[in-house]
Structure 1
Amino acid sequence: MAHEDGDGRRREYRAEELARLAGITTRTLRFYRERRLLAPPRREGRIAWYDDRHLARLRTIAALLERGHTLTGIAELAEAFEHGRGVGELLGVAPTEETPVRLTPEELAERFAGEVSPENLVAAMELGYVAVDGEEFVHISRNLLDASSALVRAGIPLGAVLEAGRRVREHADAVADLFAELVGAHAPAEEAQIGRRRVGTEC
């Protein structure tokens, strides 16, 4: 049964009630603890007490699972967030000062083996990868340009590469939104503001 501390603000739950509120079984709750997806509960003798932070984490896990993320990926995201690492670092992207690459239409077409169609150009611009400057195109990242053009040269259609980029961005935005909501709901005001800035700028 849930109970409150003396200040009447923080609710605590036994494992059975926490699992019920989160819509999972106690067995799943134990599994999440073993995978270190949850912080250890507060112990009072042999009784484990969980609070609203545990409930928020369980609901975040459920939302991420619904979006197609794996438990391993969720665990890595949670660890990165708790230790102040950005999503870019988690994905293995070292922080760099990217230099935009200027290309003529002919150079861009050659880079992507003639797959620069009007539709693909529009998609790349909507994703923010490419912009037009006078008679030239400007790509935001040499690393991304090299990686995407290598995929096209390997036989992957440019449209499929751009669609993958769009889906990655959607997942990153969803993760950022979920963690921002979690921080806003359960962290002190000052820490919440820092957390929202970190998540919002690095996804």
Structure 2
Amino acid sequence: MADGREGREYRMTELAKEAGITVRTLRFYRERKLLPPPRREGRIAWYGEHHLARLRTISALLERGHTLNGIAELAEAFDHGRDVGELLGFHAQSEETPVRLTPEELADHFAGEVTPENFTAALDLGYLGTDGGEIVHISHRLLEVSSALVREGIPLAAVLEAGRRVREHADALAEIFTDLVAAHASPGDAQRLRPLAKSVVEAELSLALDRRLRKQQ
């Protein structure tokens, strides 16, 4: 069923079919509180796209060897506004400082490059957000580096595309580290061990750049 407020909605049988599971499994997940409550309209329960996304996430986590108890802990974190980083101890402090900018200040950083297309791409990446009349950049360090690359003559669109590709690899690297901590240390050790993970990544990136540059000579 289409609902103008939240997009498509599903009855239980429809949701199970879309997720590739049985209705019995769906009921089991609901009883284990792995899913948020559905919207009720009389005696009919309606499930939305966020329920479908949750079911697909559960399936992916199960395929990677996670237990239902572990998934239930993650689901509780999501439902209470926390994230996986909090469970791994990363919430204590962040090394990235957001920057609040006026539209004019943003334009000064990227003279002539703040087009609607580039602005939308930065929003999609999560680099930018808005707060009233101000723009918030997620990271002072990323802002300075990206503006420096633009000053070197690299188009902002290319910088943003590179950022998107780097994000994919960075997420994969972070997953390696968090999996390592989860398997061999306590979640409380993650923040303390974080500098070691960064050092490994920085050293490997430096060596990789050396290899690439030698090939170009």
TM-score by length of 1: 0.43
TM-score by length of 2: 0.40
Structure richer in helix, relative to its length: 2
